[in-house]
Structure 1
């Protein structure tokens, strides 16, 4: 593995208030350190609130509003967890469309913890092997996914993990998939 294997790549992080801070900051640092340009995309302008479980953590400056973001301008997408964050994102059509477009363009996506809630809304988990925070198991199965209890799962460019304890494996696999690039079978329905 080269130190800068993501040089020239641009990776979006989609989040809003209530994201689990470590699930954004650790992948952000790992992906940036691997040479990628990282961009914080949100349906909210200004700053968004991170959380350490149920306690407020730091705020982070948004780089780009999702309503003016295009998956065409990125090589991959990261969806941090937290409960409020993906619950809010999945009700925002611009966010859901942004996520869906990565699949339509066969680009790698990495989602951790509650992050797959937004994938369900984007209708991109059917027939895929995934993991998540355990409370999403039934939601993912109902959306047609095969849910497994593993630290990190990769299915045709879709990387998923369960919780912050899985971050080392999640970051390593996300970087590998972002370096690899497009996946022919990374598709969205419709």
Structure 2
């Protein structure tokens, strides 16, 4: 297991996040020693969902407006339908995605989370995957869309669904290990 004690990871989420897509990557990163910060629109607890039903809640550590992307090495974006749909309407959330991409930092998005990448206009010419229902959106934004459990294109890591979480977590952790060595 890697020692990621120097890694600082930002996660963005709000109500409607897919439960496993937030909690499982977060736990894998914490288990690897990374410092994980969850930011949301407000610091009130946010509601997860699993198969369309309400699931667990979690209290964000901070708000989007308090985030300085220079303080982080990677950005992890959980899916769910409502979560990225709400976040892509938040100007600061889109700025955060853009800043990570401009700085060539790790950006990992799963399921419906690539909607944030589309909104930030950062997928043109990039290879990516997502939940099937937003693949046309990715294509229309200029992405080369493939159907694989995890797709790595430079600093961009994407996955399709909760079943892909083990491969997604491995890809994120390996990218962070490489980043910290370089």
TM-score by length of 2: 0.96
Instruction: Name the SS of the counterpart of 1:181 in structure 2.
Output: helix
Aligned mates of 1:53, 1:76 — CA distance in 2: 27
Aligned mates of 2:178, 2:101 — CA distance in 1: 15
Q: Shift of the alpha carbon at 1:14?
A: 0.4
* 2:147 paired with 1:149: yes
Q: Shift of the alpha carbon at 1:5?
A: 2.8
The aligned residue for residue 17 of structure 2 is 19
Residue correspondence of structure 1 range 1-190 to structure 2 within 5 A: 3-181=1-179
Q: Shift of the alpha carbon at 1:58?
A: 1.1
The aligned residue for residue 188 of structure 1 is none
Aligned mates of 1:62, 1:7 — CA distance in 2: 21
Is the 1:45–1:64 Cα contact (8 Å) retained in structure 2? yes
Aligned mates of 1:179, 1:104 — CA distance in 2: 20
Structure 1, residues 88-134: CA drift from partner, whole Å, max 9, x if none? 01000011001111011110011000010001001111100000000
Aligned mates of 2:100, 2:116 — CA distance in 1: 13
Structure 2: give runs of 5+ residues left out of the alignment. none
Aligned mates of 1:107, 1:181 — CA distance in 2: 9
Q: Shift of the alpha carbon at 1:139?
A: 0.3
Instruction: Name the SS of the counterpart of 1:109 in structure 2.
Output: strand
Q: Deviation above 6 Å: which 4+ runs of structure 1? A: none
Aligned mates of 2:8, 2:118 — CA distance in 1: 24
Structure 1, residues 117-156: CA drift from partner, whole Å, max 9, x if none? 0010011111000000001111000000000000100000
